[in-house]
Every structure is written in C-alpha cells, then in structure tokens.
Amino acid sequence: MSDRVYRDIHSHTGTTVNAGSFPKHTFAFNTQPTDGETITITRISSDSTTLTFKSTSDTAADHRRLHNGIRNTDVLIGNTLSETYLNISTAINTHVDLIQTGSSNTITCTVSGNINTAHGVTVYENEKLSGNIGIAKAGSFTLVGAIDTAGVTMTGLYNTGKIYNGIQGSGSVTVLIRDPDKDGYNVGPPANQMTTATITLASGVILPIQTFGCSGTVKVYN
C-alpha cells in the first residue's frame, strides 16, 4: 500500500481534451523585394507588424551582424533570397516586443532549410490560439509556397491552475499530460510540450500520475 498522502481534491466535469497547437505560417517570395517594399504579419489578436526592406542600411536587420534586443523593423535585402529570408528571421527574433516567448500576442520566426540554403520563412505564434497568422505584402514581388497551419486552443483543462499528481474515477478516459519526449527549455520556435493519452481508471483507486485535464468526470489530487 502506498504511504503517499493526497490533498486538495478538485472535482472535474470532463469535456473533450485537446493538447492544442501553435499557429504557424510559412511563406517565400518569387523574387527579391526592392527598397521600400514591405510585408505585414498580423497576429491572431489582429495586432500587426510591418517589415520594410532596405537595399542599403547601417541598421537594418542583417544575419551577419549581431543584433541584441533592438526594436528594428527594417530588413536588409540580401544578395540572394536565402539571405533575405535569414534577415527577416533576424529582424523578428531580435525585436524584444515581438518575441517574449510564452507571452500573449508574440511571435517567433525560423527559416525553412538552413543557414546555407534557406528557402522560406516560418512565423509562429507563441501561444496556442485558434486561428491563422496573416501575411500580406506591398510590392512587386509575390508571396509563394504559403502553408498556413491554424492554431488550436487547449481544451479539457482543469480550471484551478494547479498541477495534480493523482486522479480517481472509473472507466476509460483521455487525459492531458506532459509529453515526455519534449524538453521544457527549448530555444527557438514554440514546441508543444503537452499530449493526450487514454487510460483506464479503477473505481475507488487513486492513480498516481500527473494530469492537467481529463475527458471524464473525475477527482484529482496533489
């Protein structure tokens, strides 16, 4: 018999459980932008950020130079599209107001491919929200290769804001748990560190696992 003492009982009425997902949008250009042309990124909150391309600039975002938390929305046009994509990523990821990971209404950016062969840009919301990121352009270039992945809000959560280490109920239920394969200290785009699992509960028995939501009517303990 376990000598574990459980406390803080919370009675939960189950709903559909979903681990959620982060919205993201991938795009590329058919040709290089020119000086003064822009792209505008609109977050799900409807707030937007406009990046302006510059053919020459001492301050525009350039992946070859160090940028440390500046509020820069100018992007240096690279010698190749690959370099321009890297410079877009640099502009976003060094903008302190845009990238506060874990905060609402913020974004993160990566390039498709790698530093030598970047062939597009992917923008992520840093919060699991329902909806899509918007990308619009003003210029003679065309947005191509767009892949829009809608975000999904987490559902079925316990509503107390606590972590629970025991669950009691009966029958088969779906629970929300941490994904054991995901590191909680990732650097870069947001990683979904939650997942769902189906388990069977025995009536009258506290199962000693950590859960964050459940599809069934259960009691949870910590």
Domain range list for the chain: 10-20+154-221, 24-149
Tokens of 90: 């640099």
| In the predicted structure, residue 98 carries a pLDDT above the cut 50 | yes
How deeply is 192 buried, as exposed, middle or buried, from its count of CB atoms within 10 A (0-12, 13-18, 19+)? Answer: middle
Residues in a beta bridge with 219: 11, 168
Q: Which amino acid is at 156?
A: G
pTM summary value: 0.88
Cα separation, 163 vs 100, whole angstroms: 24
- Helix (H, G, I), strand (E, B), or coil: what is residue 151? strand
Pairing outcome for strands 194-201 and 143-149: unpaired
| In the predicted structure, residue 1 carries a pLDDT above the cut 70 | no
* 171-217 confidence digits (pLDDT tens): 999 999 999 888 766 677 888 999 999 999 999 999 999 999 999 99
Look at residues 176, 178, 198 and name the one whose alpha carbon lies nearest to residue 12: 176
Report the length, in residues, of the chain: 222
Going from the C-alpha of 23 to that of each of 8, 60, 110, the distances in angstroms are: 35, 27, 14
How deeply is 196 buried, as exposed, middle or buried, from its count of CB atoms within 10 A (0-12, 13-18, 19+)? Answer: middle
Pairing outcome for strands 107-112 and 74-76: unpaired
Rg over CA atoms, the chain:
22
| In the predicted structure, residue 97 carries a pLDDT above the cut 70 | yes
User: What is the mean pLDDT of the segment spanning 66-89?
Assistant: 92
Q: Which amino acid is at 211?
A: T
